[in-house]
Structure 1
Amino acid sequence: MEGPPGSAAAGPSYTLHPAKYSCEDILFCVDVDNESMVEMKNTGPNGRPITRLDSIKQSILLFINAKLTMNPDHRFAFAALGKTASWVRKEFSSDVNAAFSALRGFSVTPLGGHADLTQLFRIAAHEAKKSRSQNRILRVILLYCRSSVQPHFQWPANQKLFTFDVIYLHDKPGPDNCPQKVYDALVEALEHVTEYEGYIYESGQGLQRVLFRQMCLLLSHPQQRCMQDDLNLPMALTKKVPTTDSAQGEDNLRVSSQ
């Protein structure tokens, strides 16, 4: 930028060169533990209960349609997370009907126990190399639903080949769960593996609109993102009710400092 002619205070000039951003290959990994069947506060037609898994499927379709409106060359694939990750649809595609068919293929796996992200990261790293060979980038979006099971992984600290985003749906803190510890473990995983700025959002409210809003925030392209702490999103309006100091914030997880 240049100052007016003859201006002694004119700073150095600069030129902002146009840059082309890579198309994305996006791998959705959906938690299929029993807790994915927890009912949301919303209900469907005729009062039919809506589960977390139902809401996740709807939010993914919302995301895909919006993303393809921005750029029809983005592609999507699907995996499920039980005790470890496995493919649901391995072929990356821009076909919405293929995505709809893949989402119908998710089924709950009532195994319980641990959640190992290592295989998910192996799959992502392998696919990321193929994406790069086509001048594309890979992103993994994990939708996690367990309130007391901390995910774990084994992965080299210097191998960051893909972007990693997380949405965490959980119960409120209680004697039988520890969503704060789970959230901290997810933040650790994100910071350990993500190539570009990864975003993590959580909700214990059980509201579809919160999930949909968070999914829309993930529409941002990894190569165009600011730091999550710099988003400066407006606070949601809440009803003012008298609360004690001990009750304030007990249902909210700590904001990530990533």
Structure 2
Amino acid sequence: MRGLTATTSSSQPDLTSLFRLAAHESRKSRMQGRILRVILFYCRSNVRPQHQWPVNQKLFTLDVMYLHDKPGPDNCPQEVYDTLVEALEHVTEYEGYILESGQGLARVLFRHVLILLSHPQQRCVQEYIDIPKSLAKKAPQVEPMAIEDNSPVPVSSQ
């Protein structure tokens, strides 16, 4: 995953056309009794996305998977993250999640994608979600051994 790079630079990303397309598809989905969800993978830690979308148009659920580089002179991952949170809150109909990773580890990405696959109407608020912890970080639970007092020890006689 670290080997992915852009071959050309582009201007500031505008999410308006994505939101417009999602709203159009959402209207068609509603007529069929379905909910539309958009999962946005955003990978630019040096450019904040922009959009122009009405506040009262929440027609689909937006989830964001934000993959970023470490903070540095050319990167501002926290500012980009904050902008993505604002966009999510601005457009999403049901509980939308934003998950991020600055590590580039495939297993972290896969775990986050599995969380995003949950149904939007069956989700709790993101701050209450108990994302599975790494097994290496869990402290092993030690069970006390049961000791029986005054128990006879069998002696074999031969």
Name the TM-score, length of structure 1 as normaliser: 0.50
Mapping for residues 1-258 of structure 1, pairs under 5 Å: 39-40=1-2, 50-51=3-4, 110-236=8-134, 237=136
Inter-partner Cα distance in structure 2 for 1:184 and 1:122:
22
Q: Identical aligned pairs, as a percentage?
A: 68
1:112 Cα offset (Å) = 2.0
CA distance in 2, matches of 1:170, 1:128: 29
Instruction: Output the CA distance in 1 between the equivalents of 2:90 and 2:7.
Output: 27
Q: Which has the higher strand share?
A: 1
Q: Secondary structure at the match of 2:37?
A: strand
Count of residues in correspondence between the two structures: 136
Question: In 1, Cα distance between the equivalents of 2:7 and 2:28?
Answer: 30
The one-letter code matched in structure 1 to 2:31 is S
After superposition, the C-alpha distances for 1:190-215 in whole angstroms (9 at most, x for unaligned) are: 00000000000000101111101100
Post-superposition CA distance 1:35-74 (Å, at most 9, x none): xxxx52xxxxxxxxx537xxxxxxxxxxxxxxxxxxxxxx
Task: Compute the displacement of 1:234 (Å).
Answer: 4.4
Q: Based on CA coordinates, which of the two structures has the bigger radius of gyration?
A: 2
CA distance in 1, matches of 2:108, 2:15: 25
| Aligned position for 1:45 | none
How far residue 128 of structure 1 moved from its aligned partner, in angstroms, is 0.3
Q: TM-score, normalised by structure 2?
A: 0.81
Q: Would the alpha carbon gap of residues 234 and 131 (structure 1) be closer, same or farther in structure 2, given more than 3 Å must change?
A: closer
Aligned-pair RMSD on alpha carbons?
1.6
